[in-house]
Structure 1
């Protein structure tokens, strides 16, 4: 039992270390085995889009700091140029202003504003709990044999889990079911870009071509 708990904990901690999207460029090793050689290679976004998403997050956070200073607590997550906003703002006018502000950032396709109009109540312990929930959801997605875990980005805000990614209807439903089954999750919000199986084939990485050497072997 102890070793099983330790393995589960290692999975959670490893997934937390992956950051926001299970899309790091370095190998991930869990329990002595290689999970993915280069997770960027299996990300359904192009390399260029991944760079754009990081740029969007940097620019959006800079604009938020300049505009709201300490009058809001906002987290910005961009996936395939769709931006998810979570956290708290002071009033409805600020929430609308926030949406317009981020819509004006270069390369943003759409904005999903899930911020709450509420006092800034998130404590360090609450943020730590959210981080741990995110890790548990990622670990559960990794354990699922019928899903590509690197296709999903997981964000948790006040025990509400937001799922992002380019997925099929089956994958969207399955991932939401998995997230709902994680302890302490109060709600799951799907912020997916849903595509058909045929459309998904375009996002899958192409295998490297196999070459053979047809030259004759040297004589002994």
Structure 2
């Protein structure tokens, strides 16, 4: 298994990295069809990002993984998640220099607007830990489906060592509902918000457009499998949103033709 992975509270503690950044009007819903690697079945999901933004996010992700794999030590285990040109780095690196180098590499990639560097300086996580993270991601997505006031399709879920990161273009209320729901999933140790907030009217327009576009294709789309509950675990009772926000690093201006290499 590659040490670089493409990704795609109250336990009750929440680290807030939410960027209350207004998104320009004109958000459009779209359908993102992903061909199944084995059976070729198309999975259809609505997405509030524009088609162009989705394409850029995939290009950033592929480029980042390639450059990180070439330039970081073999002991590094780095996951890259990109949403709306914002890059989330999770995993483990052997030293602080590697953590900083990973950030430098990603900052050099074209179209990267911001970096959230959550790499931990510690030995790489175990296979069982990564398996549990994959399981938690599925369990959280299943939990979000049960809430009628939000759409699970609007959230990207990433789990690392039991810490769940939530990304997406959402309203403040949607973000709070999803955070609370995620915090109630057994096995989740902490929730970290990495949202980009939009206004309710923008969300409504984007959702309506997405539903209109995806309706014909949804009839033939395969459903994602659900997963069972994970074992009970103790949680913290610290109130939500009372920890200081983790740093968000805005990238330097990027010029066309940037190599994405570390300085």
TM-score under structure 2 normalisation? 0.63
Q: 1:75 to 1:173 in 2, by over 3 A?
A: same
Alignment of 1:1-220 (within 5 A): 20=8, 25=33, 38-39=44-45, 42-120=46-124, 122-206=125-209, 207=212
Q: Deviations over 1:90-120 (max 9, x none)?
A: 2122211211110111111100000101112
SS in structure 2 of the partner of residue 139 of structure 1: helix
Output one character per residue of 1:39-60: Cα deviation in whole Å (capped at 9) or x when no partner: 1xx2001112111111111100
Note the C-alpha offset of 1:69.
4.2
Question: Within 1, Cα distance between the matches of 2:123 and 2:203?
Answer: 41
- Following superposition, which runs of at least 4 residues in structure 1 exceed 4 angstroms of deviation? none
Larger Rg: 1
Equivalenced residue count is 178
Structure-2 change in CA distance of 1:151 and 1:92 (3 Å): same
Secondary structure of 2:115 counterpart:
strand
Q: RMSD over aligned Cα, in angstroms?
A: 2.2
RCO higher in structure (CA 8 A, sep ≥6): 2
Q: Which has the higher helix share?
A: 1
1:34 is matched with: none
Unaligned runs of 5+ in 1: 1-18, 28-36, 209-220
Distance 1:123 1:193, change over 3 A: same
